[in-house]
Structure 1
Amino acid sequence: MSDIVVVYKSKYGYSEKYAKWISDALSADIFRTNQIKPDKLKSYSNIIYCGGLYAGNILGFPLIKKNYSELRNKKLIIAAVGATLKNDEAKEELKNKNLTDEMKNKVHFFVLRGGLDYKKLTALDRLLMYLMYKYIKKKDPEKLDNDSKGFLETYGKTVDFTDKKAIVPIIELAKKQ
């Protein structure tokens, strides 16, 4: 058994891809959220969590958040995976939405770029993406940020922005004593 565990929840496969890359690079144990119980997590000193971003929430993250009091003495690395670019302000918003005040000071937080395959989206997710598209399309094109421009450019297409190099800082951090 490794001292490092990678836990993930992935809806469309991008978080799973990162989780497997991280696990392979660290020779770490790997589990989906539904395959591991909080008691088992306590046996690891390094926990890396990968979850997709949906409406600003990290998929499956309650497994960590609800059990944080028992995991607070572990090295916790959180990787939120989303299809869009995130500037520093957006990363702070994600931290504020997903982490408790105590966690913000202790947990290592990363945002990794995933992808989208519109053909695989659920009907609800397609509807939400369509509504987002209509909302952004109404805005003044001159005032759009890079995320919004990128969203409009890739709407309805299959895009995969995953990048194996993006896990390097996570690997280095996990290896530090």
Structure 2
Amino acid sequence: MEKTLVIYKSNTGFAEKYAKWLSEELNCDLLNYENRNTINWSDYEAVIYGGGIYAGSINGIDWLKSKLPELKNKKVVVYATGAMPADAPETKEAMEKNFTEAEAAQVKSFFLHSGLCYEKMAFKHKLMMKMFCKMLKTKNPQTYQILRLSFDHTSKEALKPLLAYINGNEQRG
């Protein structure tokens, strides 16, 4: 198996939870984003980066994208966590807008449904979500119902397609 590194940037714990599960499953190195400057890229054949989606952007993705030239001959995977279901239009749009066509050709991306944890959110994010939910209450009651309370939909099952890709067993559709 390839020597793999999992890097994560997590604000409320969901990206970290998935990162730990990946590290256990792959028996590979795990690194918090805060320690990203310690990485020796030549030590790895595969790099997995994970972060939550905030206002349509994957947390910390600009840093990883700046490293893509150094990762040219490596397997690069990005997973994004988010509160909305994978089939929600907002999720699809967020996943597509984070990468240019050239970046998307180099990076295999996955969305992992996670949740919301208002208790761990920074005050400004909590305030933004309260205002957003207030707007949604009348404009999109279905989405409002999803986002109004904390929840955790993380699942080891959700990692199967990513693990199949990393292990070279990806099912082609």
Q: CA deviation at 1:40?
A: 1.3
1:76 aligns with 2:68: no
SS of structure 2 residue aligned to 1:64: helix
Q: Is the 8 A contact 2:83 2:147 kept in 1?
A: no
Secondary structure at 2:145 match in 1: helix
On the 8 A contact 1:79/1:109 being kept in 2, the answer is yes
Q: Could you tell me how far apart the structure 1 residues matched to 2:48 and 2:55 are?
A: 22
Checking the alignment, whether the CA contact within 8 Å between 1:33 and 1:63 is kept in structure 2 is: no
- Asked if the contact 2:86–2:92 (Cα under 8 Å) also holds between the matched residues in 1, the reply is no
Match of 2:84, SS state, is coil
> Quick one: distance in 2 between partners of 1:36 and 1:159?
29
| Aligned counterpart, 1:167 | 159
Give the TM-score normalised by the residue count of structure 1: 0.85
Please, which runs of 5 or more residues in structure 2 have no aligned partner? none
Change (3 A) 1:164 1:74: same
- Aligned CA RMSD, in angstroms, stands at 2.1
Q: Hey, which bits of structure 1, 4+ residues long, moved more than 3 A?
A: 88-92
Moved more, 87-96 or 124-133: 87-96
Distance in 1, Cα, partners of 2:133 & 2:127: 10
Q: What residue identity is the alignment partner of 2:163?
A: I
Q: How do 1:136-155 residues align onto structure 2 when only pairs under 5 Å count?
A: 136-139=136-139, 144=140, 149-155=142-148
Q: 1:89 to 1:133 in 2, by over 3 A?
A: closer
Report if aligned partners of 2:85, 2:91 keep a CA contact under 8 Å in 1: no
Please give the TM-score of this superposition, normalised by the length of structure 2: 0.87
Q: How many corresponding residue pairs? A: 168
Structure 1 residue runs without a partner (length 5+): none
Change (3 A) 1:89 1:24: same
- Structure 1 residue 106: Cα displacement: 2.6
By how many angstroms is 1:44 displaced? 0.9
| Residues 11 and 121, structure 2, Cα contact 8 Å, conserved in 1 | no
Whether the 8 Å CA contact 1:116–1:158 is kept in 2: the answer is: yes
Instruction: Say if 1:42 and 1:70, in contact at 8 Å, map to a contact too.
Output: no
